Amino acid sequence: MNILLVDEDCSVRSELYRFFTECGHEVVEAENGREGLVKFYTIGSTYFDVIVTDMVLPTLSGKDMASRIKNSYLGSQIPILAITSDFENDYKVNNDSPFNLILPKDLSNSKLLDFCLLMAKKSRSPMLYREA
């Protein structure tokens, strides 16, 4: 699975990058929303199976980045998972939300990976699955 990981916190990004790559997945990192958007379009919107982003980002919020991606032709089908440290206020996904799922930032890495795999499988490829 190819993951675009966007988070301004270097330690969170490093931890998730290491975990995802050790599980055999490809990860492209970005430290803010604008960089995430640039990488999404320059690497190629069809490359990514899922996007994992923090909601609060410098230069361009995770929500604004996700909205721009969802409003693009090819980005409309890519699942975007938001991770947030203010889960109680941010967890509701409504029809106006660009996120497919909002998760707490303190969720275990393996649970986050499970959600990524599930969302990617539902949106695109029937051959994505997690081997035990």
- Domains observed in the chain: 2-123 (3.40.50.2300)
The model's confidence at residue 125, banded by pLDDT at 50, 70 and 90, is very low
Whole-angstrom distance, CA of residue 59 vs CA of residue 38: 12
Q: Which residues face 2 on adjacent strands?
A: 26
Q: Which residues face 102 on adjacent strands?
A: 82
What pLDDT is stored for residue 14 in this prediction?
Answer: 94
Residue from 61, 58, 48, 60 nearest 90 by CA: 61
Residues 6+ apart with CB under 8 A from 60: 32, 33, 34, 36, 37
Q: Which two tokens stand for residue 74?
A: 């090819």
pLDDT in tens, 82-116: 988 765 565 555 567 888 888 888 888 888 888 88
Q: What is the mean pLDDT of residues 28-55?
A: 92
The reported pTM is 0.84
Q: What is the mean pLDDT of residues 44-52?
A: 87
pLDDT in tens, 6-35: 999 999 999 999 999 999 999 999 999 999
What pLDDT is stored for residue 37 in this prediction?
Answer: 94
